[in-house]
Every structure is written in C-alpha cells, then in structure tokens.
Amino acid sequence: MNTFKIEVQKTASSRIKDVDWNNLTFGKIFSDHSFIAEFKNGKWEHMRIEPYGPLCISPASPVLHYGLTILEGLKAVRNKNNEALLFRPQDNAKRLSVSAERVCLPSVPEELFMEGLRELIHIDREWIPTAEGASLYIRPFVFATDACIGLRRPEEFMFMIITGPVGKYYSEPLSVKIETAYTRAAKGGVGYSKTGGNYAASLYPAEQANKDGYDQLLWTDGVHHRYIEESGTMNVMFVIDDTLVTPELTDSILAGISRKSVLTLARDWGMKTEERPVEVEEVIETLKNGKMTEAFGVGTAVNIAPIAAISYKDSKRLLPAISTWKTAPKMAAALEGIKRGTTEDKFNWIVKM
C-alpha cells in the first residue's frame, strides 16, 4: 500500500515512438511523465504524476533570482527479466536532504522520494533503454516557488522528478588542468550541497580550460590552491604506490555515491585505500617519479573516466599508457556489472522496481 496518495494523469499520446534509440544524446529527451509534489503550509502535498511539460511558476520565484534549487542524478537500467534496477537510490534521497538544509530548502522524506520514483519508473518503464550501456537518467530536484523576491527563507517549493533515456557514456581519456585561479567551492561554502549555483560557477572556468585544449579541470582548494578537490563534476582518485588515494571529504567536496562505492569495492578486494588531503605537489611529484600509475574521475554519469594527462602551470605530464592500468578497468567492469545486475550484488546496492 502506498504511504502517499499519488494522483496519476497519463499522457494522451506517448512520444516514445519518436525516440531515435540508436542516437541517444544526454539530457535532451524526456520520458512521457514527471512526478511533482508541492510544499505548502509546512508540508508536502498534491503528489502527482502528469505528462512531462512546461511549468507555470511566478516570475518572482526565488529559484529564478537566487538560485534556490538542489538536484540529484541517478540511473535505472533494465535487466534480462525486464525489471528496473536502481543503484543505491536511498543514498540519493539522503543526499538531497543534506543539500536542502544548506540552502534553506525543505527536506524530502525518503519514503516520498522512493514512492514518487517507484511510481514514475513504473509508468515510464518502457523508456528504460535495453541496449548495452544505455540507461534511464533520473533527475530529482527541489526549488523555491514563493511569489516573493524578498531574500528570506522561502515557504513554498516543488519537488520534481524527470527522466530521460541516455546512451552509453563514452569518452576519450581526459586531459585535465590543475586550476590555480578559479575556485569551485570555498571553505564554509556550499560545495558539499548539490545546489544550482555550484554548477553555474563552474561553467566559465571549464569553458576557459576547454579553449586551452583541456577536457576538464582538476579543482583545488579555494584557500591556497594547494590541495586537489574534484575533477569537473566528478570525484577524483589516484593509484599511487598501489594504493587507491582520494581527497578526504570536506565541506567543499561533493560526497559522491560512486566515490564511496569504489572505496568499498577496493577495500573488499584487499586493496589499500586512503582518504586524505592530496597535495598538488604530491600529484606532480608522483607523476614524475612514476609512483602514480592511474588517475580517474568517478561519478554516476561517467562511471569511471580515465585521466590520460594532468597539466600544471602549462607543463603537461602523461599518465602511463592506459593499457597498463589494473585498477580503473577492473573497477569500471565491477561497478557496471553490479548496476546492470550481471554480477553479484554483495553489498545490496541494487533496488528493483
């Protein structure tokens, strides 16, 4: 029995027949329906599923002026038995509430998040691609809708979930630049919250780096640019001296679900792992002396993204050839296998819907 009453209004004409399943691009195709809940008078109400389409909100909504919005990102796949598999969705629900608190948005109860997700995935299950590597990207988000441009804690909000099929993520190994001028997230700031402004602030520096021929930035701390934080919108990991090393979580690093899953798997394999401050100096030094053998980004969108080159102050250093790597390829296969239901889910990460 549902804990929440969700009204369902189905679309009169599905758009699924228009989808070019062989050419799925990221983020432009959306499934037939979306889930919506509204927060008014201190509680979530009017839970519903309706046809995906434009919203009607006040031009004074704080989301439009002050960026009062938070988001999540996860994926669903279909297994051989036609069941939808989700990877650790409760962790996305929990993180949404962590993000919410920092920017004065209401938390979404985990049961509401899961119930809305379950209903939506059920109704649009045909939209989950079956092709190898493809998946249904799921975007839950919360934003302020008060009709008031006063800067104060808002009182009215929407929680929505939209979804859309995405193709196999494939990227050439990345060439990244250690950023020493711009900062993604400050100490005491909102870097640990998946809030809109973080992404707005990262776009221009990333664009500058692209112009200079880099795929992505390696963000450093905002105080002295001395410690590595993240790569683009991924967490970052290094294999140094056969140890898996990643920056320890601080308030300027987003606590990735991929990050913690990779750490868990590596420990389970008996690999040494370290979560600690990683100095830029150490990265350059171990690249030079050959102790760094692998570097990669980890995140839901990419799974594992190998880094082929790291540049610092215009000097570029290459990682060893990817064909010699042991950890990242094994990790990518292990994570994919669990997510797709083809290997044992030893840690009970998968939720079937």
Ligand X SMILES: *Cc1c(COP(=O)(O)O)cnc(C)c1O
Residue ranges binding ligand X (CB under 6 A): 73, 194, 230, 233-235, 254, 256-259, 299-300
Q: Taking Cα atoms as reference points, which of 128, 115, 192, 99 lies closest to residue 161?
A: 115
Least distance (Å) between residue 71 CB and ligand X: 8
Backbone phi, psi, residue 349, to 5°: -85, -25
Nearer to ligand X, 73 or 205 (CB): 73
Contact 180, 191 (CB under 8 A): no
Least distance (Å) between residue 257 CB and ligand X: 3
Least distance (Å) between residue 7 CB and ligand X: 30
Least distance (Å) between residue 138 CB and ligand X: 11
Least distance (Å) between residue 73 CB and ligand X: 6
Least distance (Å) between residue 194 CB and ligand X: 5
Nearer to ligand X, 140 or 299 (CB): 299
Nearer to ligand X, 44 or 141 (CB): 141
Is residue 152 helix, strand or coil?
coil
Q: Is 255 exposed, middle or buried (0-12, 13-18, 19+ CB in 10 A)?
A: middle
- Region of residue 158 (left: phi > 0; alpha: psi -120 to 50; beta: else): beta
Nearer to ligand X, 216 or 300 (CB): 300
Instruction: Please state, in angstroms and rounded to a whole number, the distance separating the CA atoms of residues 273 and 55.
Output: 46
Is residue 137 helix, strand or coil?
strand
Strands (E) in the chain, as ranges, are 7-8, 33-40, 43-51, 69-71, 74-78, 84-87, 135-144, 157-166, 174-178, 216-220, 228-231, 234-240, 243-246, 272-275, 292-299, 303-312, 315-318, 350-352
One-character DSSP codes across 245-285: EEPPP-TTS---HHHHHHHHHHHHTT-EEEES--BHHHHHH
Least distance (Å) between residue 217 CB and ligand X: 11
Contact 320, 85 (CB under 8 A): no
Nearer to ligand X, 57 or 255 (CB): 255
Nearer to ligand X, 73 or 109 (CB): 73
Nearer to ligand X, 154 or 256 (CB): 256
